[in-house]
Amino acid sequence: MKLVIAEKNIAAQKIAQLLADGKPKTDKVYNTQVYRFTVQGEDWVSMGLAGHILAPDFPDEVLFDKKQGWYSVTEDGEVLPADVPDGLARPPYDTKRKPFLANGINIKGWKVESLPYLTWAPIIKKPAEKEIIRVLKNLAKKADHVIIATDFDREGELIGSDALNCVREVAPDVPTSRARYSALIKGEVTAAFDNLVSLDQDLADAGESRQYIDLIWGAVLTRYLTLARFGGFGNVRSAGRVQTPTLALVVERERERMAFVPEDYWQIRGVGAAQGQPETAFKMSHATARFTDRAAAETAFSHVDGATTGTITAVSKRSRKQQPPTPFNTTSLQAAAAAEGVSPARTMRIAESLYMAGFISYPRVDNTVYPRTLDIAGIVDGLSSNSPALRPVCQKVLSGPMKPTRGKTETTDHPPIHPTGQGDPETLDGGQKKLYMLIARRFLATLMGPATIENTKLSIDVSGEPFTASGDVLVDAGFREAYPYGLKRDEQLPPLAEGDAIDVSDIKLEAKQTEPPARYSQGRLVQEMEKRGLGTKSTRASIIERLYQVRYLKNDPIEPSQLGMAIVDALHEFAPRITTPEMTSELEDDMTHVAAGADTQEHVVEHSRALLAGMLDTLIAHKDDLGEAIADAVTADAKVGTCPKCGKDLVMKTSAKTRGSFIGCMGWPECDVTYPVPSGVKVSPIEGEGAVCPECGAPRIKCQPFRQKAYEVCVNPKCPTNFEPDLVVGECRVCAEAGRHGELVAHKSERSGKRFIRCTNYDECGVSYPLPARGKLEATGEVCEHCGAPVVVVQTARGPWRICVNMDCPDKEKKPARGRGARGAAKGGSAKGGTRKSAAKPGAKKTAAKKTTK
């Protein structure tokens, strides 16, 4: 039997289909899919790995103790690194000499001083995909030939090499070879299997060098930053070859913004309209778009101030064409989705699910050119029958020339991201459907003609001053019919001709200031990373997400936290190599040399280790400074306002006793001011105006609920601005049935700020309902027709909203909440799965409550 090892399941399946006599059979080994087929009567089996199946790591016994973590303590209380086995450490840091322990290091200092050990510690490959390895070994034992058919790139060669090492453990003598194909199409794959070669160990070594160097630098610097001032578990301060330069980009942009000196300028703007037709109003502005001289602006304005008429002096029309977009690859999909409010990381999670469900093609690609083999018409046809919303435009595309656009990057491994045309989009959830429609519409747009936009420019004379007005009208939608994303609204101008008089009103002189360079959006940052060679299509999204997770970044557009800036500053000073994209480009050069056999993995890795070791003395010497800088930055990030009592900072704190968070004064214990933290929201300070509550003097804070609009409130729950009198909303049915009288009353908890309805006889009946966190409540006196619970009206930003307060109401069961942002269940508060008692069945508290939460 011949065993074919591919990098991923889809490749294993494709290869089987392309090589098989007849149809391959899908089989399972343990729980993993494999494909069995015959080639000229011979039995073959193909399996997909899941990318890298081994992960480089330090051996457990080196600098890692299962109980102590990154350090360990000896029996006599001395803090030491976990033992380094003899012969593992390398010069110049010899384990036996322990040079860094010579001058009596205190316990707090120890952890960082141990880093030299780590720099030279050995690295082993640990199994990362145990199930896959099990299947691989199982099949390898039965194989008489093993063919590595992983992707044709450096990582693919490494993945193949790792797989081969696993195979060798159980089948040391089985012949092995390598199939190199650069496209999963018949000609390529059959040619590759007809011309088998052997695995390129140099190329695999090059990839492995990358793994080692990334781990060494990442682990040493991450441990250094984390331990310089240990902030407790969950407070890792990470660093890495890709993440740190990426963070530095954001910090650099923020610094540019801070250094930016705004310049004053003035604009004169007004409103024009065809004579006597106010409904044709359009915006117009002075021909000098920006006056940098105030006096000149005021002089010009004095001529037109209060003007009511103007004259058209010229009309010019120009039409321009907007070319249809190029096919999506990973980066352009991430950028387009980010513009629609979906982060790159979420985009990739959703894309993966769409791919797995058969709705779209493989989502990790650089390619932006459809291969000739792609059945474009077939896909459009499929879209047409499965997506009624797209049917008209699909029919239009089918009747047109269907000449697809091409992007700049052409590779042959996978086609650009496109819909398969299969599957019913109605079965998708909100996020999936949104992304699917973006991908489907983009695909259609790439097959359509340009959009034609007609621009009209009016030159207007108002009391001797020149004004202009401009309007864009889409005269031929072209691809825009399929792809409305990022489309500007038409600015229609009335039909006017030279010499026409117009009405003019509202002419104003506006003082403005130039804006600093804009912050990166997540989409822009992904593109910038690509431009600078940072990360790959598969990693950029998750690396940005990681920077948010370690709280170096916040908000979108992206801002660095104080912590993020402190980290970049420190590394820039003491380990500058890790902060720039050059480390990646130099690594690329090294890998090229290793792959070409001009250098060795050992040499390249040792050289990188030595560079890092050269920085360690300085890093360690400045450990305390850095620790302090990090602590200060963390405090600054935690600030939510100023203490009304003593003027010190109010910060987010964690209670040592309950582990819960609260807002407390930095002046503690002298000052005892504390506030509760509003639950379920991200809290941030308000700068400048509105920072202090005019009612009570406590700080006002910005609250950002998950995927909902942010709002500002006073932190003080006892403040009159937060106070709402208790409201009777109805009568308790449970009590009524029991022959008691109970009233249902809406309360707001002073401690948590949560709102809920509770029966006045709660101790006996246990009736309580959660309420939406915000919005003025009104009682209706009505009860729900489905469950008998009271109905209330909540005033929301979108207007009044009538709800039955019972989250377990059968009416809600019929339309279960989908995802977190769904109306109804989420607004009522049940999506968070809080504890509450069921009103319908007071006895069975938990069972009933569960249903609507998931």
Residues of this chain that bind DNA (CB under 7 A): 7-10, 48, 50-53, 55-58, 64, 68-71, 128-129, 132, 151, 153, 155, 159, 210-211, 214-215, 217-219, 222-223, 226-227, 230, 233, 235-236, 238-244, 352, 356, 364, 535-539, 542-543, 546, 584
Give helix 391-399 / helix 376-386 axis angle, nearest 10°: 150
- Supply the minimum distance, in Å, between the C-beta of residue 807 and DNA: 33
Q: Smallest gap, in angstroms, from Cβ of residue 131 to DNA?
A: 8
- Pick from 777, 758, 756: nearest CA to 766: 758
As measured in angstroms, the least distance from the Cβ of 556 to DNA is 20
Provide the minimum distance between the beta carbon of 361 and DNA in the complex, in angstroms, as a whole number.
12
> Among residues 217 and 467, whose Cβ is nearest to DNA?
217
- Closer residue to DNA, CB minimum distance, 125 or 457: 125
CA distances in angstroms from 670 to 655, 667, 674, 697, listed in the order given: 17, 6, 12, 19
Of 150 and 446, CB closest to DNA = 150
Residue 48 is encoded by which pair of tokens? Answer: 């997909």
Nearer to DNA, 159 or 189 (CB): 159
**ω into residue 669 within 30 of 0, thus cis?**
yes
**247, 581 in Cβ contact below 8 A?**
no
Tell me the three state secondary structure of residue 39: strand
Question: Shortest distance, CB of residue 232 to DNA, whole angstroms?
Answer: 8
**Active site annotation includes 436:** no
For DNA, the closer CB: 8 or 648: 8
For DNA, the closer of residues 239 and 805 by Cβ is 239
CB of 105 to DNA, least distance (A): 17
Is-contact 326 407, C-beta < 8 A? yes
CB 360 within 8 A of CB 419: yes
What residues does 25 pair with on adjacent strands?
36
Cβ of residue 152: shortest distance to DNA, in angstroms? 11
Torsion of CA 222, 224, 226, 228, to 10 degrees: -160
Cβ atoms of 645 and 671 within 8 Å: the answer is: yes
DSSP string of 477-517, one letter each residue: -GGGGT--TTPPPP-PPP---TT-EEEEEEEEEEEEEPPPP
Residue 70: CB minimum distance to DNA, A:
4
Tally the C-alpha atoms within 13 A of residue 322's C-alpha that lie toward its C-beta: 22
Integer CA distances (angstroms), 4 to 140, 223, 518, 803, in order: 10, 41, 50, 59
CB of 37 to DNA, least distance (A): 19
How many angstroms separate the CA atoms of 376 and 382, rounded?
A: 10
The amino acid present at 828, given as its one-letter code, is G
Q: How far is the CB of 414 from DNA (least distance, A)?
A: 9
């509760």: which residue's tokens? 676
Residue with tokens 């894309």: 351
Least distance to DNA from the beta carbon of 265, Å? 41
In the complex with DNA, the residue whose CB is nearer, 223 or 480, is 223
Task: State both tokens at 849.
Answer: 């409550």
CB 630 within 8 A of CB 563: yes
Which distant-in-sequence residues (6+ apart) come within 8 Å of 78 by Cβ? Answer: none
Least CB distance from residue 153 to DNA, whole Å? 7
Q: For 402, which DSSP code?
A: -
The continuous run of DSSP H or E covering 46 comes out as strand 42-48
Nearer to DNA, 579 or 768 (CB): 579
3-state secondary structure 759-818: ECCHHHHCCEEECCCCCEEEEEEEECCCCCCEEEEEEECCEEEEEECCCCCHHHHHCCCC
Residue 328 and residue 300 in contact, taking contact as beta carbons nearer than 8 Å: no
The contacts of residue 787 (CB under 8 Å, 6+ apart) are 804, 806, 808, 809, 810, 811, 840
Q: Return the ∠ at Cα 175 (arms to 171 and 180), rounded to 5°.
A: 120
Q: Decide whether 205 or 214 has the Cβ nearer to DNA.
A: 214
d(CA 242, CA 529): 9
Q: Closer to DNA at the Cβ: 224 or 370?
A: 224
What CA–CA distance (Å, rounded) separates 530 from 519? 17
| 737, amino acid identity | E
HEC sequence for 184-238: CCHHHHHHHHHCCECCCHHHHHHHHHHHHHHHHHHHHHHHHHHHHCCCCCCCCCC
What sign does the dihedral 600-603-605-611 (CA atoms) show? negative
Catalytic residue, chosen from 362, 370, 520, 548, is 362
Phi and psi of 48, rounded to 5°?
-105, 140
| Closest CB 590 distance from DNA, rounded Å | 14
Q: Among residues 238 and 386, whose Cβ is nearest to DNA?
A: 238
- Closer residue to DNA (CB): 214 or 649: 214
Q: Which is nearer to DNA, 71 or 756 (CB)?
A: 71
Distance CA 102, CA 96 (A): 12
CB burial of 614-630 (b: ≥16 within 10 Å; e: otherwise) equals: ebbeebbebbeebbebb
Which residues are catalytic, by number?
Answer: 362
